[in-house]
Structure 1
């Protein structure tokens, strides 16, 4: 049962019942608009690229400040309490791409070549499931798409120095992935995780 807009479950229900493409949280701003994009609310280069400070923006409002949203504060606190975090994976939709840090810079991290090698093996594993569409990359969002700031993967890499950090932009031509194909997507993602672990182990990360 939904008790209030502070209930974590409310955003999911709002998405299903009111706006299928809703991507923001449901916190209330001073402008009678709801929510912020949690993928732009993390405290690394917050608000610099591909975000807005307009609370009524439908998609890319970064929040009133870094970690203004209870969702990002709670998740970041949980992540920080994980001992020896070696891998962080974020799943997004849609683009069929594999992205690595940093999303707002064309300067590459020190283990960039390893991230690319592990990522390519992951992509190869996933492609063997369906042989339908092969992911592009790996590469940074700045190199492959556009500069973007305030995402969880960049924060995890910068703050915790987690060595293996990836964003999987799942396959699809829209945000409406058919229910009949959920298992297909799940099988592909599972194999990509196995490929990631396999190559990371060979390189001595795991």
Structure 2
């Protein structure tokens, strides 16, 4: 149903390119400081990983006691002064140019050559409309609201006549702009539960006994900016200007209203990649989606991210296994279900704060607001450099179907 009208023939083109010597402008600003891609050694526990994250560097992934980060020279110097050893993998903007196949022809409003199988926002919207046209008895398209730049925050509901009044389940994707594989994950969920309804009894049973909602683009302005000019920009945040600042964008997954900015799990520096915004729900995207969630009674939820191959659960704001609003029994259920899902996709399961402390994230908010069994999945790859942000489009089928069994477990846990 979601096959693109272009071929996969150029998928491997970027792999053979030589590293470019010209530095691309960071975040589209010719005067922006150089960004290096580094491996940070010595992050042996959650406290040290939190220290790395609090440096202002952009944490890309973790592997044991090694963290991959994008950092300015000043941030890298600060990490070294803090006792961490750094190996520079490369210049991030040069690597972006290389990954973008800078020598090839670029369509200004599409993914770089070789990655056209990824869906732009317009193509994602068209795919959702096609799901409704093909399965009008199951699929309904609506909007949670509008982004800062006026794009609809599309919501696709999948339910049969038998689903009325049944438990509600939510899947959300693309909070962080450059995590395009997650949008493909949400589209795969839509395709599987609509196209498979008539032929797969297990899917029919899940749809008939649940109301399934999918939000494929929680940050459409950021994701469109990330491919502007047909080249990857390495952009993570939203696109709303920060008041009283020259900076643009807030980390949407630090902008949710529960324990916002409370615990050293986000930054109050507008230039930081995990900047939490001037106030909770300052971003129209998080405000709209949170209002949509609050208007429902979602029993279970996965928010998809990349990368590191992790299954994470609340709380993120505290290192304690239990805290106000979560009993030991509830914490055990989170862990048990998380491990069951991880057994199927071979991700690593852990409480979010075991990785590093975060505050103002969607999982903590969803649990505190409505006791939603809310998880984050960090998708493929397990680790990596630039391909961690931008895995080749050839990986889409395998890495989305890889989560089918985990998705089914989550749906059934809704009751």
- TM-score surpassing 0.5? yes
Question: In the alignment, does 2:376 pair up with 1:167?
Answer: yes
SS at match of 1:39: helix
Is the CA contact 2:300–2:411 (under 8 Å) kept in the aligned structure 1? no
Name 1:135's counterpart in structure 2: 347
SS at match of 2:402: helix
Shift of 1:19: 4.7
Shift of 1:159: 1.4
Is the CA contact 1:100–1:140 (under 8 Å) kept in the aligned structure 2? yes
Name 1:117's counterpart in structure 2: 336
Whichever structure has more strand as a proportion of its residues is 2
Give, in whole Å, the separation in 2 of the partners of 1:165 and 1:14: 28
Name 1:185's counterpart in structure 2: 399
Shift of 1:7: 2.5
Name 2:138's counterpart in structure 1: none
Which one scores higher on RCO, CA 8 angstroms, separation ≥ 6?
1
Is the CA contact 1:93–1:170 (under 8 Å) kept in the aligned structure 2? yes
Question: In the alignment, does 2:224 pair up with 1:13?
Answer: yes
SS at match of 2:389: coil
Q: Give unpaired runs (5+ residues) of structure 1.
A: 127-133
Shift of 1:10: 3.2
Alignment of 1:23-38 (within 5 A): 23-29=236-242, 30-38=244-252
Name 1:152's counterpart in structure 2: 362
| More off after superposition, 186-195 vs 73-82 | 186-195
Give, in whole Å, the separation in 2 of the partners of 1:50 and 1:120: 24
**Alpha carbon RMSD of aligned pairs, Å?**
2.1
Give, in whole Å, the separation in 2 of the partners of 1:167 and 1:155: 12
Shift of 1:5: 6.0
Q: Give unpaired runs (5+ residues) of structure 2.
A: 1-108, 110-121, 123-146, 152-219
TM-score by length of 2: 0.43
Question: In the alignment, does 2:338 pair up with 1:90?
Answer: no
Structure 1 residues 37 and 20 mapped into 2: Cα distance closer, same or farther (>3 Å)? same
Give, in whole Å, the separation in 1 of the partners of 2:310 and 2:223: 25
Give, in whole Å, the separation in 1 of the partners of 2:221 and 2:364: 27
SS at match of 1:86: strand
Give, in whole Å, the separation in 2 of the partners of 1:141 and 1:76: 20
How many residues matched?
188
Indicate the structure (1 or 2) with the bigger Cα radius of gyration.
2
Name 1:131's counterpart in structure 2: none
Structure 1 residues 60 and 170 mapped into 2: Cα distance closer, same or farther (>3 Å)? same
Give, in whole Å, the separation in 2 of the partners of 1:195 and 1:179: 27
Name 1:68's counterpart in structure 2: 282
SS at match of 2:376: strand
| More off after superposition, 46-55 vs 184-193 | 46-55
